[in-house]
Amino acid sequence: MQTRIAGCKFLVTAGPTIERIDPVRFISNHSTGKMGYAIAAELAARGAVVTLVSGPVALETPAGVRRVDVESAGEMWRECTELWPQMDGAVMCAAVADYTPAEVSPVKIKKGPEASPDLILTLKPTKDIAAGLGRTKRPGQLLVGFALETDNEEVNALDKLRRKNLDMIVLNSLRDAGAGFGGDTNRITVFTSAGTKTAYPLESKTAAAAHIVDMFFE
């Protein structure tokens, strides 16, 4: 199985996206990119040709990985849709913003008058990159997604697996201590489109990455 990974071309997305409001402010999330970087490192260590499309993070590029830095969901969408046709697989780890400001102010937004200080920001939805790749997936291409949930975890994960045409989805719950954003550990459950469910104990993100990659092409 691992011999099939050597030489394969993989796209990995990681980190948050940031969506500009004005020249000094943005909307983002708590993703640090650690899980995606661990997967990119694991794939490269097994001989895959890895392109890591990364939002802004404070991490070193893993050895042997080509990294493309992007900022917004729109930029990540453009890079990924262009790269996808030449890939054997993609692992969508990025915490992509679901909404972006409808307009970016070219100048710093000033405070409102004391009598009416509220600021209403209009947001528009971003494109779902994983779902876009799922729509154009060729036979033989492997598409893996992540689901970070706070409630109704399994139902939500299985719904995303189906809706985005994924082959595999990795669920982590913010309810689990030691899982989710920032830390060096995760507790994952992997669901496949073939109907399997595999739960792993709390482990390092490096160990979780190895478990995830072990399931590719099985």
Contacts with ligand C5P, residue ranges (CB under 6 A) = 13, 73, 92-94, 96, 126, 128-130, 145-147, 160
Of the two residues 5 and 168, which places its CB atom closer to ligand C5P in the complex?
A: 168
Min separation Cβ 58 and ligand C5P, Å:
19
Cα 187 to its chain centre, rounded Å, is: 16
Token pair 């990159």 in the structure block, residue: 129
Q: Is 29 a catalytic residue?
A: yes
Of the two residues 54 and 126, which places its CB atom closer to ligand C5P in the complex?
A: 126
Min separation Cβ 40 and ligand C5P, Å:
14
Q: Are 108 and 23 in contact (CB under 8 A)?
A: yes
Min separation Cβ 52 and ligand C5P, Å:
13
Of the two residues 47 and 215, which places its CB atom closer to ligand C5P in the complex?
A: 215
Do β-strands 9-14 and 49-54 pair in parallel, antiparallel, or remain unpaired? parallel
Of the two residues 73 and 190, which places its CB atom closer to ligand C5P in the complex?
A: 73
Q: Pick the catalytic residue: 29, 152, 156, 172?
A: 29
CA separation for the pair 171, 200 (Å, rounded): 11
Q: What is the 3-state secondary structure (H, E, C) of the chain?
A: CHHHHCCCEEEEEECECCEEEECCEEECCCCCCHHHHHHHHHHHHCCCEEEEEECCCCCCCCCCCEEEECCCHHHHHHHHHHHHHHCCEEEECCECCCEEECCCCCCCCCCCCCCCCCCCCCEEECCCHHHHHHHCCCCCCEEEEEEEECCCHHHHHHHHHHHCCCCEEEEEECCCCCCCCCCCEECCEEEECCCCEEECCCEEHHHHHHHHHHCCCC
Min separation Cβ 117 and ligand C5P, Å:
32
Of the two residues 47 and 78, which places its CB atom closer to ligand C5P in the complex?
A: 78
Min separation Cβ 134 and ligand C5P, Å:
9
- Catalytic residue numbers, as ranges: 29
